[in-house]
């Protein structure tokens, strides 16, 4: 068993939270058009987009390298606006075990917030935390948000 790690980021949204949630839930194939520097492709491997148990694949560029992430959608809670993805194959789980990312969209007062939580296990203390990867996710989130602001 590796060293368990949890990283968390919260981003204030400028665009409509419902539109943002809809993109990640029902229209993930559009994300590559919203943030092409981060995500270059999406493929549905099995199941139906927006349903628990579906398998998806992201093609993305991280730290200058083309990468993939094959994930299963573990949870969807439309009421709380929460999605959890577990990577079962790809560049992250080639090094880190039990990688999960959770997207949560909420409103605090008048402010809409997107939070990402990533959980994983490092094989040993010499393997770095995924701080740069969380920064990548934050950058992708801001690019998707900016895209929606420009559209309105």
User: Residue 16's pLDDT is what?
Assistant: 86
- Does the domain at residues 3-151 carry the CATH identifier 3.40.50.720? no
Gyration radius (Cα) of the chain, Å: 15
pLDDT tens by residue, 81-111: 999 999 999 999 999 999 999 999 999 999 9
pLDDT for 65 beyond 80:
yes
- Count CA atoms within 13 Å of residue 2 on its CB side: 20
Is the distance from CB of 88 to CB of 101 less than 8 angstroms?
no
Per DSSP, which regions of the chain are E strands? 3-12, 39-46, 55-62, 65-77, 82-90, 97-108, 111-122
Instruction: Parse the chain into domains and list their residue ranges.
Output: 3-151
Mean pLDDT of 109-114: 93
Instruction: Look at residues 102, 78, 99 and name the one whose alpha carbon lies nearest to residue 26.
Output: 78
Who wins on pLDDT, 136 or 150?
136
pLDDT for 66 beyond 90:
yes
Is the distance from CB of 9 to CB of 137 less than 8 angstroms?
yes
pTM of the model: 0.94
pLDDT tens by residue, 3-54: 999 999 999 999 888 888 999 999 999 999 999 999 999 999 999 999 999 9
């Amino acid at each position: 068993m590796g060293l368990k790690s949890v990283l968390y980021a919260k981003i204030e949204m400028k665009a409509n939270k419902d539109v943002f949630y809809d993109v990640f839930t029902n229209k993930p194939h559009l994300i590559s058009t919203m943030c092409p520097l981060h995500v270059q492709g999406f493929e549905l491997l099995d199941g139906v987009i927006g349903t628990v148990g579906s398998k998806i694949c992201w093609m993305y560029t991280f730290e200058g390298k083309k990468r993939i992430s094959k994930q299963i959608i573990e949870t969807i809670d439309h009421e709380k606006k929460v999605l959890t993805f577990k990577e079962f194959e790809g560049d992250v789980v080639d090094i880190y075990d039990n990688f999960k990312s959770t997207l949560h969209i909420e409103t605090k007062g008048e402010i809409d917030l997107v939070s990402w939580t990533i959980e994983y296990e490092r094989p040993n203390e010499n393997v770095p935390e995924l701080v740069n990867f969380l920064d990548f996710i934050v950058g992708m989130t801001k690019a998707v948000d900016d895209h929606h602001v420009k559209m309105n």
